């Protein structure tokens, strides 16, 4: 298969690049701004034709959750118009589409793990609404597609919570971190493997939604404690309530994705603390 990864320089795109050598049967092509703007149909079409692409994996997104509240048009352009362009190209050239979505399509008020079939009638914030609108558009596009919702992505690439904690530790020995928002971290290279495995199994007719994060549950506070603990950093972490750390966008209170469906496909889901260890080892090598 010839696979085009859009948003190839983002943390998930780079994570797919990292694991792509494990899948020699596929040729991966990585593209990102400025040459491969997913809102520009001609650019993407040219790449698709030139490389005889069979599948587009869309990792391109507007991911600045807080900024999206004051820039809804910019968020909508990348998160809705972009995927619409990709779906149109997939339909025209009979390609399959893998699209990445988020737990923010839910309202964040659940207190049990979220199923793919749970209601997304009230997404949390502008970012969540744009991702939900893209999901609906893909489902209606009649393109054979897979949508994978994920959460709390981190890796050795790009900006993320793990790297922020390690950076703050360079000149602080005490931090406040929110303890009343619960979820599960996702090591982006683990998600990358899951994407490659889903492609290997073959993308079925219609639109199939899956949930993927690592296994287990924690708060941001627990996540921070584990990062410093595993790194051997002596840091005093103080638990903060959400109301003590105001952000422009609302965050989910409890956002644990139920992975039963993707696991029933034989896809392995590593425990979050084990994957964190892998990431910290990778960061140490850099
Ligand atoms: N990060 C998380 O915690 C998280 C959680 C849940 C779901 N997700 C979803 O997971 C996916 C991957 O996220 P990520 O963390 O890898 O995001 P990321 O690191 O922000 O990467 C997104 C990439 O898309 C590029 N991009 C932006 N606009 C584009 C356009 N018009 N055309 C082509 N490329 C464009 C960005 O380039 P620039 O950097 O130059 O803008 C960046 O390289 C996204 O769909 C995101 O919504 C992420």
| Strands (E) located in 89-135 | 96-102
- For ligand 1, residues with CB inside 6 Å are 6-7, 9-12, 32-33, 36-39, 59-61, 63, 78, 82, 100, 102, 150-153, 158
How high is the pLDDT of residue 257? 98
Region of residue 74 (phi > 0: left; psi between -120 and 50: alpha; otherwise: beta):
alpha
Q: Residues with catalytic annotation?
A: 127
Residue-wise DSSP of 44-95: HHHHHHHTT-SEEEE------HHHHTT-HHHHHIIIIIHHHHHHHHHHHHT-
Q: How far apart are CA 280 and CA 199, in angstroms?
A: 28
Q: How far apart are CA 241 and CA 228, in angstroms?
A: 20
| Of 7, 35, 34, 5, residue with least CA distance to 97 | 5
Distance 238 CA to ligand 1 centre (A): 30
**Closest CA to ligand 1's atom 18:** 10
Domain boundaries, the chain: 2-152+185-214+255-272
The stretches in the chain having pLDDT less than 70 are none
**Closest CA to ligand 1's atom 31:** 37
**Tens-digit pLDDT profile for residues 46-71:** 999 999 999 999 999 999 999 999 99
How high is the pLDDT of residue 90? 98
Rg (CA), the chain: 19
Q: How far apart are CA 127 and CA 114, in angstroms?
A: 19
**Tens-digit pLDDT profile for residues 257-278:** 999 999 999 999 999 999 999 9
How high is the pLDDT of residue 101? 98
| Of 135, 28, 121, residue with least CA distance to 87 | 135
Contact between residue 137 and residue 200 where contact means Cβ atoms under 8 Å apart: no
Cβ-based neighbours of 3, under 8 Å, separated by 6 or more = 26, 27, 28, 29, 53, 54, 55, 56, 57, 199
How high is the pLDDT of residue 205? 96
How high is the pLDDT of residue 277? 98
How high is the pLDDT of residue 228? 98
Question: Does CATH place domain 2-152+185-214+255-272 in 3.40.5.10?
Answer: no
């Amino acid at each position: 298969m010839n696979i085009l990864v859009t948003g190839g320089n983002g943390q998930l795109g780079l994570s797919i690049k990292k694991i792509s050598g494990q899948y020699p049967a596929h040729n991966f092509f990585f593209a990102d701004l400025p040459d491969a703007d997913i809102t520009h149909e001609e650019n993407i079409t040219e790449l698709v034709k030139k490389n005889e692409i069979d599948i587009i994996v869309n990792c391109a997104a507007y991911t600045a959750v807080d900024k999206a509240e004051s820039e809804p048009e910019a968020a909508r352009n990348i998160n809705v118009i972009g995927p619409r362009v990709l779906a149109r190209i997939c339909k025209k050239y009979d390609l399959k589409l893998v699209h990445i979505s988020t737990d923010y399509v839910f309202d964040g008020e659940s207190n049990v793990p979220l199923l793919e079939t749970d209601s997304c009638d009230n997404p949390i914030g502008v970012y969540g609404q744009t991702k939900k609108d893209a999901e609906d558009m893909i489902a209606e596009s009649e393109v054979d597609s897979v949508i994978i919702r994920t959460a709390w992505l981190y890796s050795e690439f790009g900006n993320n919570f793990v790297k922020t904690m390690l950076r703050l530790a360079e000149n602080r020995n005490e931090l406040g971190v929110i303890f009343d928002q619960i979820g599960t971290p996702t090591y982006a290279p683990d998600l990358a493997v899951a994407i490659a495995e889903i492609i290997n199994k073959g993308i079925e007719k219609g639109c199939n939604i899956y949930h993927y994060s690592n296994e287990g549950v924690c708060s941001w506070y627990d996540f921070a404690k584990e990062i410093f603990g595993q790194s051997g950093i002596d840091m005093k972490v103080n638990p903060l309530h959400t109301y003590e750390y105001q952000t422009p966008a609302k965050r989910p209170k409890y956002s644990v994705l139920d992975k039963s469906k993707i696991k029933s496909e034989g896809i392995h889901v590593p425990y979050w603390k084990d994957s964190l260890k892998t990431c910290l080892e990778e960061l140490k090598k850099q």
